[in-house]
Structure 1
Amino acid sequence: MKLLFLLFIVFPLSFSYNYLIFCPLFGHSHTTFFAKIADTLTDAGHNVTFFTPTIIRKFAKMNYVKSTKHVVHLEPSEKLERYGSFLENNDILRFWTDDASMSELFPMIELFNSMFLEQAAVLGKNLELLDELKALKFDVMIYESFVECAYPLLDYLEIKTFIPSTSIAYDPNLLESIGEPRMPSAVPLPMSKFTDKMSLIERTLNAIAPPIFNFFLSKPEFKSFRPPYSKIDIPSQESLSSFVFTNSNPYLDYPRPTIEKNVQIGGISVDFEKLKSQKVNKEWDEILNLRPKTVLVSFGSVMFSKDMPMENKLALAKVMKQFPEVTFIWKYESNDTDSFAKGIENIHFSNWVPQTALLADSRLSAFFTHAGLGSINEVSYLGKPALVCPLFADQMRNAKMLVRHNGSIEVSKYELHDAKKIEEVLRKLLFDDSYRIASENLARQLANQPVKPKELLLRHAEFAAQFGRLPSLDPYSRQMSFISYFLLDVAATVLFIVLLITSITFRITKLLINCLPFTLSSVKQKNN
């Protein structure tokens, strides 16, 4: 009996692995994504350490993980905290009116590079803490792919197996590093305003943007924390990863060729069964019962409605007034609503809304959103028509990604002042049943996809811990030259052979033609 009891104890322990989730605190959605990875592995019985060096102070006060108990914090240097403050207070409000062009991204990327260099310096000055982590003998480390200070940490902790991951839907640089083919002709870039159906000019821009970025942006150098403090070759390290986790879902994103190392876990942060069972409290229940239809309006946790231009607020309030049979729940972060919506009874303003619980409620008719990836995943899984208004960054791509499923409509942020336009698309979304039917169909597909994102994450994370690096999954195409990869040498060889055969045939034909008169003349003389 004692032996049986010991077997019950030892058996599950023998199949638990040690995971380190490295997640510097610089962004809410980024941290939410990696916290969900940590909790998923913890819930499966594994030992998970959530290592969260602070960059933006307010995020350190938030409890992102639920079941993961071993959370390790690290205080920032004054310089790193200044980077965090600048990032937090950066003038992103201008994106309510300014274009989020490629040129706008250069200074932001330079900021991130400098910030992660300083984060590496902070890690290097806290080797005592790193030694404590090293003693835990982690099997696998998971981290955001562009947080490149993860590589000296990997080196110091001597973790051989690692899984770079991305909290956005598509990172061509990461995927190209593991040998996945890039299709600029049909797959738009992360910050792109294009769809998969691009014009000649759009395809050109989509193709040349990455090399332009790589040419003009300087790559920071990260060095080992151990003597002789040699430079770490990050591109070659990325190719050694067992897998990469991407926040993409093949049933939602643009279809594209992938390889086995790319594990798409998009939607992992959406606990479908839990969300469907969520109930709103009495206050929100009463609000949802006020009118036959209800629309939720929220522009996320980074861009606030209170900061949009006044002409946009006035136009939206005017539009909402035109729908007396619809209740509008507007996430609005200030008390100045009388300046643009005084006396409009069907608008309910709130500093905070239970977004997922409202989306899961059958009485909610539509969602007016900024197209952040978290909101896109939630509205897709919960089957609600959406009016999407992207403001900047990957929201442009996210919006078009959702619209292609025919359950949503996109409006430009430059059209928010046009009350007539907004009323037209909102009326179509609310009263044309085709949008509801398409949204519900997408939700059913996501709910019944053959392999759930959580299972994909768990099985591949365990497989990596068990077998380590997987050179058999590293495509040889990654090492091929441009000429070999695109068969230009084959094309040149075939062209040469064709030209050679054509030339020989031409010469023989010409020779025969030249000989023909002489032959005919000889025959004629012989006959005479």
Structure 2
Amino acid sequence: MVNFKFLSNFKYKSINCIIICKIQILSKILKKFLLNKNINVMNFFILLHFSLIQYLIGYKILIYSPEIGHSHVNFNIRIANTLIEAGHNVTYLKISIAKNINFKTKANIIETTSNKKFLNLFNNVVGVKNMWTMKDSFIEQMTDFSQFTNGLVVLCQSIFEDDKLTDIIRNEKYDIFIGEFYTLCPVFLKKYWNIENSIFTSAMTNNELLYDYFGLYFPSSYVPTMYHNANDNMPYLQRWSNFIDYYISKIFFKYILVPKFQLIYQNKSNDFTFSITEIAKETGAIWINTLPFIDFPSPITSKLHYIGGAGLPETKPLDDKWNNILNKRDFNVLISFGSIAKSYTMLEEYKKGILKAFTDLSNITFIWKYEKNETTLPLKVPSNVIIIDWIPQNDLLNDNRLNLFITHGGINSIVEAASRSTPIICVPLFGDQKRNAGMVQRLGFSEYYDKENLSNSELLKKTILKIIHNKTYSKRANRIGTLMKDVPFKANEIIIKTTEFIGKNGNIPEMNLHGSNMGIIEFFNLDIIFILIVLLILVFLSFYHLTKKIFKSNYKYKSD
């Protein structure tokens, strides 16, 4: 391992994969050659050629990953590990932001600490605010979104100004750049770092604000926006709300946020021709962390691929401790609200409501991921409740003795539960979780539960019993689980195949929708519609005047 240190906030760690891999392969081949006297020189070189060819065709890939949250890091690490296992040379650009995010990868690591100004802005939105007390109003969400994106602008500025980092990345001459497009900075960084081919990703769903740039129209009449609580069958008032949410967000994004990133790029590169409108031309694929039979069906470009469930860890058999817990009662429920919103930070009345409901349901074992000692709870913990700060979530979900999963509605938790055919109750707290909750409720294996109703023990109890005793939920969960198992193209396969396809053939401009180059008048055929309306009006007026003239002539004839 070679270590380079630049400035006070930058550290570069790199493993020279080419040398190590070649040495390992050569040593194995030489050992076989020396031990086997029957192998001639020609056979040795043929063996050497085919042993090295798989590695030599691997691509150099850079993954850009600001550590905004566990789910985003998890998503990017799974992509990195999948590509490494396929024989590619992957470098993971780690932008340290959130604390206590740990991961395992064999990728080369470039690590840089975030700008202090950004960290302050980030903590004001994510670090300081209690997710349990955040309001669901659109105004508060837009305020938080504005603060958060201002932080992303500051972060992007600091990365562009890091000339040492730029030199390292340019000198590496990467074949492919992979980055989440919702932070916007990657769109400009890949151009600035001279990386020709790129894949843009989303650890959530496809962002409605980017539809225009890919030549698509966002159908707000039946697809909820990122932060909207609705399903695809919206009544009139919900469609109004979704419509307004979308266009307010779109105006903010297009006319306030994007120009800030554009200016950063222009000031550093002196390139005034490239803009975010080129994003469709500058990418070979878009990966989103969901599945077509889980997410809301919507218009997509042929460059978009669903990779939900990519890199899901293999399940392991539960040990005796967990087997004993699951065998105690006929029903078992798992409760976990993710890594950002800690259970111990929820309001006291929520804790009381949960414990009262669990106490009344004494024939059910509740496994509650709670990050502090149970003495911090306001009520005595009943014997049927297991309080624990860590759980083997994936393994528990895979066990058919688990009947229900109560979750915050993060996309990774939803995909895990769906893949294991487990019914869920979604208690969305912030961000896209409300949309996710509505998304899976419409599929019939989940119920949406407002966090403010956690204090209502009777309603919570009723909802839990409804899902456990109504077999429709488990049947629908089994249906979704079967679809995930039988999907014709697995997520890992899509990641590997599309990466190699783009590495070999570039960004595939043949697949770009021309709609991204069209103005609103052309795109919606408003010029044609206008002419048709004018023609219809002329026909109507002509018919009116002709009729009037005929009646007038008849009247005059009768008078005479």
TM-score, normalization: structure 1? 0.90
Are residues 415 and 78 of structure 1, via their aligned partners in 2, closer, same or farther at CA, if it must alter by over 3 Å?
closer
1:471 matches 2:513: no
1:420 matches 2:461: no
CA displacement at 1:269 relative to structure 2: 4.1
Q: What are the equivalent positions in structure 2 for 1:31-110 lying under 5 Å apart? A: 31-59=73-101, 62=102, 64-66=103-105, 68-86=106-124, 89-91=127-129, 93=130, 95-110=131-146
Overall identity of the aligned pairs, in %: 26
CA displacement at 1:508 relative to structure 2: 3.8
In 2, Cα distance between equivalents of 1:423 and 1:391: 20
1:249 matches 2:291: yes
5+ unaligned residues in a row in structure 2: which ranges? 1-42
Q: Secondary structure at the match of 2:287?
A: strand
Q: Which residue of 2 aligns with 1:526?
A: none
Q: What are the equivalent positions in structure 2 for 1:159-198 lying under 5 Å apart? A: 159-198=195-234
1:496 matches 2:537: no
Match of 1:153 among 189, 192, 196: 189
| The 10-residue stretch of structure 1 (311-320 or 358-367) with the greater mean CA deviation from structure 2 | 311-320
8 Å Cα contact 2:115-2:158 kept in structure 1: yes
| The 10-residue stretch of structure 1 (499-508 or 350-359) with the greater mean CA deviation from structure 2 | 499-508
Q: Secondary structure at the match of 2:100?
A: helix
CA displacement at 1:321 relative to structure 2: 1.6
In 2, Cα distance between equivalents of 1:115 and 1:480: 32
CA displacement at 1:85 relative to structure 2: 4.6
Q: Secondary structure at the match of 1:58?
A: coil
1:199 matches 2:235: yes
1:404-449 superposed Cα distances (whole Å, 9 cap, x missing partner): 1111222111211111111111111111111111111111111111
Match of 1:120 among 156, 178, 182: 156
Q: Secondary structure at the match of 1:399?
A: helix
8 Å Cα contact 2:353-2:455 kept in structure 1: yes
| The 10-residue stretch of structure 1 (363-372 or 115-124) with the greater mean CA deviation from structure 2 | 115-124
1:347-392 superposed Cα distances (whole Å, 9 cap, x missing partner): 1100111111111111111111111111111111100111211111
In 2, Cα distance between equivalents of 1:169 and 1:483: 28
Q: Which residue of 1 aligns with 2:497?
A: 459
CA displacement at 1:471 relative to structure 2: 2.2
Q: Which residue of 1 aligns with 2:409?
A: 371
In 2, Cα distance between equivalents of 1:511 and 1:229: 68
Q: Which residue of 2 aligns with 1:27?
A: 69
1:215 matches 2:251: yes
8 Å Cα contact 2:351-2:377 kept in structure 1: no
CA displacement at 1:260 relative to structure 2: 0.3
In 2, Cα distance between equivalents of 1:163 and 1:335: 44
1:267 matches 2:271: no
In 1, Cα distance between equivalents of 2:159 and 2:431: 29
In 1, Cα distance between equivalents of 2:269 and 2:429: 46
CA displacement at 1:126 relative to structure 2: 3.4
1:11-52 superposed Cα distances (whole Å, 9 cap, x missing partner): 323431111101122211111111111111111111111111
In 2, Cα distance between equivalents of 1:85 and 1:518: 85
Q: Which residue of 2 aligns with 1:525?
A: none
8 Å Cα contact 2:209-2:249 kept in structure 1: no
Q: Which residue of 2 aligns with 1:287?
A: 325
CA displacement at 1:183 relative to structure 2: 0.4
In 2, Cα distance between equivalents of 1:499 and 1:110: 46
8 Å Cα contact 1:270-1:381 kept in structure 2: no
Q: Secondary structure at the match of 1:51?
A: strand
In 2, Cα distance between equivalents of 1:424 and 1:517: 77
In 1, Cα distance between equivalents of 2:482 and 2:268: 55
Q: What are the equivalent positions in structure 2 for 1:134-153 lying under 5 Å apart? A: 134-153=170-189
In 2, Cα distance between equivalents of 1:155 and 1:343: 56
CA displacement at 1:330 relative to structure 2: 0.8
In 1, Cα distance between equivalents of 2:409 and 2:55: 42
CA displacement at 1:65 relative to structure 2: 3.8
| The 10-residue stretch of structure 1 (485-494 or 214-223) with the greater mean CA deviation from structure 2 | 214-223
CA displacement at 1:343 relative to structure 2: 5.5
Tell me how large the CA RMSD over aligned residues is. Answer: 2.5
In 2, Cα distance between equivalents of 1:88 and 1:392: 10
In 2, Cα distance between equivalents of 1:160 and 1:226: 21
Q: What are the equivalent positions in structure 2 for 1:300-449 lying under 5 Å apart? A: 300-337=338-375, 339-342=377-380, 344-449=382-487
5+ unaligned residues in a row in structure 1: which ranges? 523-528
Amino acid at match of 1:183: P
8 Å Cα contact 2:160-2:268 kept in structure 1: no
1:133 matches 2:173: no
1:38-85 superposed Cα distances (whole Å, 9 cap, x missing partner): 1111111111111112223433xx2x243x331111233443444455
CA displacement at 1:511 relative to structure 2: 4.1
In 1, Cα distance between equivalents of 2:229 and 2:403: 27
CA displacement at 1:88 relative to structure 2: 5.1
1:239 matches 2:275: no
CA displacement at 1:115 relative to structure 2: 2.8
Q: Secondary structure at the match of 2:341?
A: coil
CA displacement at 1:110 relative to structure 2: 3.2
8 Å Cα contact 1:22-1:50 kept in structure 2: yes
In 1, Cα distance between equivalents of 2:412 and 2:427: 14
CA displacement at 1:171 relative to structure 2: 0.5
8 Å Cα contact 1:152-1:225 kept in structure 2: no
1:287-328 superposed Cα distances (whole Å, 9 cap, x missing partner): 111111111111111111112222221221111122222111
In 2, Cα distance between equivalents of 1:439 and 1:186: 23
Q: What are the equivalent positions in structure 2 for 1:222-233 lying under 5 Å apart? A: 222-224=263-265, 229-230=270-271, 233=274
In 1, Cα distance between equivalents of 2:405 and 2:374: 23
Are residues 232 and 305 of structure 1, via their aligned partners in 2, closer, same or farther at CA, if it must alter by over 3 Å?
farther
In 2, Cα distance between equivalents of 1:338 and 1:119: 37
In 2, Cα distance between equivalents of 1:98 and 1:449: 38
1:88-131 superposed Cα distances (whole Å, 9 cap, x missing partner): 5221x1x4244222222334333333333333343344323332
Q: Secondary structure at the match of 1:297?
A: strand
